[in-house]
Structure 1
Amino acid sequence: MMKYFQRLGSSLMLPVAVLPAAAILMGIGYWIDSDGWGAGNAAAAFFIKAGGSIIDNMSILFAVGVALGMSKDKDGSAALSGLVGFLVVTTLLSTGTVSMLLGIDPGEVNAAFGKIANQFIGIISGLIAAAMYNRFSQVQLPTALAFFSGKRLVPIMTAASMVVASAALFFIWPVVYTGLVSFGEAISGLGAVGAGLYGFFNRLLIPTGLHHALNSVFWFDVAGINDIPNFLAGTGTKGVTGMYQAGFFPIMMFGLPAAALAMYHTAKTKRKKQTASLMIAAGFAAFFTGVTEPIEFAFMFLAPALYIVHAALTGLSLFIAASFHWTSGFGFSAGFVDMFLSSRNPLANQPYMLIVQGLVFAVIYYVIFRFLIVKFNLKTPGREDDEDIQEDGPVASAGGNKYSGMAATIYDGLGGDANVTSVDNCITRLRIEVKDMDKVDQKKIKSTGVPGINIVGSHSIQVIIGTSVQFVADEIKKIRK
């Protein structure tokens, strides 16, 4: 089950990765016309509406992305089937259709059906479409129906399945919707404390990849909070909308880079150079783009106590930002790029104070991390025991591709063709399935300089690469051919 949810989390990264485009477009529009939100400037309106075209259709992107990511060979017909499934369920359970089915006035229809076209339904549509693809994409029909065999059968079976699913959701969705709204209201009703609790659990779920499920409740229109789209669209309450995003900026732009500095300063002398190369790259990625996994996975499993501290400080940061109503937002993650683009958003409220808060948190992170690492001799990068380190680095490839040598070493460390059964990747990690975990040589894999390794099951292992993971994954797939 855990493996299934991790695959789902990876699949969700495809549609989520589209958000930077929306953030850039809308950020430019708000920068041009920060007061009129496009009403007084045609160029601003052009950019804002262009970005809105992505934000307003995130549910469809979720359906397509999940269907593609969860299908066994990521075929385009699975993505098309995800779209078909979404269109079927959102049409059958729309307010107008339900009113006709029940013979009542549209105004009397349960409010849940007015929110049927959301990311939650998009995910369900994608999952069903992927299941239909995995089951029917190789089915051969009798000669008379041969045209509809194989992949052409998948959208048909998806449509039929979604009719059945719609019948079930007719009764289930109002209950689920009410529960989600109640959950969201319970947390949002706690105000700044709720934001802090969300930030804490958001970080705790990072190792499993299940933080995406928690994020969808607060960031998108699953429970009516819809923090990211509302902020980007400029629709909400200034000082409130963005409260589930703002507190991440001090952590990702300042706190974690300071933690990286502390880990560098506490590394053993003979390993400082190697640690510096890792921490500089990871720290820059966190500050500039908000991608923090290279840093987090560098100490998450080596020093779990530090990670608990990190989660608590993240919760504290969201609590403080929400308490003072300092708000800013992001389309991708809480890095410099998103802070710069969102600073002119009409709902941004004293975003410069998040920088001040970040500088304070940088000091806090550095002091706490350095103290705990030294006090308890935590084995953060550069402080591992000598027998845990393999000095040999990856062999450079003859072709000159810097990723091919790294990929070859990692693949060999995984056990090669004899042991590896599947290779996939998300935004920063390789996700590999192996036959025998005992045949995995972690020292050889770590010799490539990767930030970390995460064993998530008896046959599942993740290798943390960073934002260049796609290129490493592509090279490994070439080796496997």
Structure 2
Amino acid sequence: MGILAYLQRIGRSLMVPVAVLPAAAILLGVGYWIDPVGWGANSRIAAFLIKSGGAIIDNMAILFAIGIAYGMSKDKDGAAALSGLVGFLVITTLLSTDTVALLTSTPKAEVSKAFDKIHQNQFIGILVGIISAEIYNRFSNIELHKAFAFFSGRRLVPIIVSFVMLFVSFGMLYVWPHIYEFLVTFGKEIKGQGAIGAGIYGFFNRLLIPVGLHHALNSVFWFNVAEINDIPNFLAGQNAIDSGKAIVGITGRYQAGFFPIMMFGLPGAALAMYHTAKKGNKDKTASIMLAASFAAFFTGITEPLEFAFMFVAPVLYVIHAILTGISLFIAATLQWISGFAFSAGLLDMLLSSRNPLAVHWYMLILQGVVFFFVYYIVFRFVIVKFNLKTPGREDDVTDTSAEENVPTVGDTSKLAEQYLVIVGGKENLTNIDACITRLRLNVHDSDLVDEQAAKALGAMAVIKLGKTGVQIVVGQQAEKIADKMKKLV
């Protein structure tokens, strides 16, 4: 497996713990609605909800260890998740300030700050999750002598992980302060760029989506990998007095600028693609664009829209990435702040509107309206000027008989059977997985994957990553289709 494919596996598995964040957003959001001033001090119900949501936010590191271990495991077994938990408990106990002081015979006050609250550092959670998953994938099928048969297979993995973490902890005892210092320096450098740094991040966030590496980039800005921790700090409603990290008008700047793009900009691009579609294709284009725009506006899921033009008109996608960077820059500069737990859609905007750190969040709607017209005008001009083959403008008319055989949206079993044929049959598959809207497949030979047949079946895009990696964008049924394919294989 190449380094790119491996990084994609990590990026995909990051979505497992991140999927827990909407629960925290709902609990905290409702709590802030009830008591926006006292944050629980003036209402027992609000305190109950805020503390419940905070329990998730405060323990994101351990959720990363468990979620990544599970997400990267070959068969998504609970033993992998348990191994991640065991590994995390061992390493964070051995690298706690008290233990480090004991092991190094150093006064507690002189122990490196790197070890302070290490159980809340998500980089440690990610590291433990990756190591635990690799150990699980390698040793979960080992059979021991009959006398130790009970500890064979999956039961053996947590034991191995606990011992491996002894050696990892010993190495980290000396290496971690340097890694921590680098991450903090990187975080400070990004923070020091202010609104420009937010804009640069927004540009690369979109640019990395085609290869699925945006999740890895997001973890640096959104979580506590480099001392930025934008999402947890925002959701927790912290301010400078509480933590010394979260600041009103600043915390949330790596999130706020996405709202105008996802809720308004991309729907504007969708309208432009509809208006420039050929007359005979307008009805079909309208149905695709309307559904994708609805998802982007309400939930912030933008891949169905982005993949509609990402590969057929890459110049539009570069423009989209630039405009996203500009949007984050504007929102950060003017301190129009809102945050999210899942994505920058209407639901998250409403939930976070009473958050103490949400500053002039309603102005993001005005900014969004402007971006709607910017996207519409720019996309329409570029499409017509360069005769780009966006949806509805293709030269080749799709065979209607093929369309008649496309399964209905809910018929995931039939879809799974047909996608299995399209990718070269079960003999060509080595791994099946999914991530929100994509089938992520490992194959023996990607040349055997029939791209045109996949698109005729309803796929928005087929991405071939070298000889052994394939991603098929199928929409929000991706996980269901993947599960059905696993059963068939």
Give the TM-score band, short-chain normalised.
over 0.9
SS in 1 for 2:311: coil
Deviates more, 1:111-120 or 1:29-38: 111-120
1:289 CA drift (Å): 0.5
Aligned to 1:224: 227
Deviates more, 1:79-88 or 1:171-180: 171-180
| Identity across matched positions, percent | 61
Which 5+ residue runs of structure 1 have no aligned equivalent?
none
Aligned to 1:360: 370
The answer on 1:181 being equivalent to 2:184 is yes
SS in 2 for 1:407: helix
- 5 Å-filtered alignment, 1:204-243, equals 204-235=207-238, 236-243=246-253
Preserved CA contact (<8 Å) 2:464 2:470: yes
CA distance in 2, matches of 1:82, 1:17: 17
What amino acid does structure 1 have at the position aligned with 2:188?
E
TM-score (norm 2): 0.95
**Runs of 4 or more consecutive aligned structure 1 residues displaced over 6 Å after TM superposition:** none
1:193 to 189, 193, 196: 196
- 5 Å-filtered alignment, 1:394-413, equals 395=405, 401-413=410-422
Aligned to 2:241: none
1:249 CA drift (Å): 0.4
Q: Alignment RMSD, CA only?
A: 1.6
SS in 1 for 2:462: strand
CA distance in 1, matches of 2:224, 2:188: 13
SS in 2 for 1:344: coil
SS in 2 for 1:467: coil
Q: Classify 1:28/1:96 alpha carbon distance in 2 versus 1 (closer, same or farther; 3 Å).
A: same
Q: Classify 1:279/1:166 alpha carbon distance in 2 versus 1 (closer, same or farther; 3 Å).
A: same
Q: Classify 1:211/1:310 alpha carbon distance in 2 versus 1 (closer, same or farther; 3 Å).
A: same
Spell out, residue by residue over 1:304-334, the C-alpha distance to the aligned partner (whole angstroms, 9 max, x if none).
1111111111110010001111101101111
Preserved CA contact (<8 Å) 2:12 2:215: no
- 5 Å-filtered alignment, 1:363-402, equals 363-386=373-396, 389-391=398-400, 392-393=402-403, 395=405, 401-402=410-411
- 5 Å-filtered alignment, 1:246-395, equals 246-386=256-396, 389-391=398-400, 392-393=402-403, 395=405
What amino acid does structure 1 have at the position aligned with 2:426?
D
CA distance in 2, matches of 1:4, 1:394: 38
What amino acid does structure 2 have at the position aligned with 1:353?
M
SS in 1 for 2:87: helix
What amino acid does structure 2 have at the position aligned with 1:335?
G
Aligned to 1:18: 20
1:384 CA drift (Å): 2.1
CA distance in 2, matches of 1:394, 1:18: 39
Aligned to 2:243: none
Q: Classify 1:454/1:435 alpha carbon distance in 2 versus 1 (closer, same or farther; 3 Å).
A: same
What amino acid does structure 1 have at the position aligned with 2:462?
I
CA distance in 2, matches of 1:208, 1:308: 14
Preserved CA contact (<8 Å) 2:406 2:457: no
CA distance in 2, matches of 1:453, 1:442: 6
The answer on 1:157 being equivalent to 2:160 is yes
CA distance in 1, matches of 2:265, 2:113: 42
1:84 to 86, 106, 112: 86
Preserved CA contact (<8 Å) 1:396 1:404: no
Preserved CA contact (<8 Å) 1:88 1:162: yes
2:480 to 468, 471, 478: 471
Q: Classify 1:133/1:251 alpha carbon distance in 2 versus 1 (closer, same or farther; 3 Å).
A: same
2:447 to 438, 448, 456: 438
Q: Classify 1:69/1:394 alpha carbon distance in 2 versus 1 (closer, same or farther; 3 Å).
A: farther
The answer on 1:111 being equivalent to 2:113 is yes
Preserved CA contact (<8 Å) 2:282 2:392: yes
- 5 Å-filtered alignment, 1:450-469, equals 450-469=459-478
1:434 CA drift (Å): 2.5
1:261 CA drift (Å): 1.3
1:455 CA drift (Å): 1.4
SS in 2 for 1:98: helix
What amino acid does structure 1 have at the position aligned with 2:467?
S
1:396 CA drift (Å): 6.1
1:390 CA drift (Å): 4.2
1:450 CA drift (Å): 2.2
Spell out, residue by residue over 1:183-225, the C-alpha distance to the aligned partner (whole angstroms, 9 max, x if none).
1111111111111111111111112222122211211112221
Preserved CA contact (<8 Å) 1:257 1:287: yes
1:459 CA drift (Å): 2.1
Q: Classify 1:397/1:279 alpha carbon distance in 2 versus 1 (closer, same or farther; 3 Å).
A: closer
CA distance in 2, matches of 1:421, 1:108: 51
Preserved CA contact (<8 Å) 2:69 2:83: yes
TM-score (norm 1): 0.96
Preserved CA contact (<8 Å) 1:432 1:460: yes
Aligned to 2:97: 95
Deviates more, 1:441-450 or 1:49-58: 441-450
What amino acid does structure 2 have at the position aligned with 1:428?
T
Aligned to 2:242: none
Preserved CA contact (<8 Å) 1:397 1:404: no
Preserved CA contact (<8 Å) 1:278 1:449: no
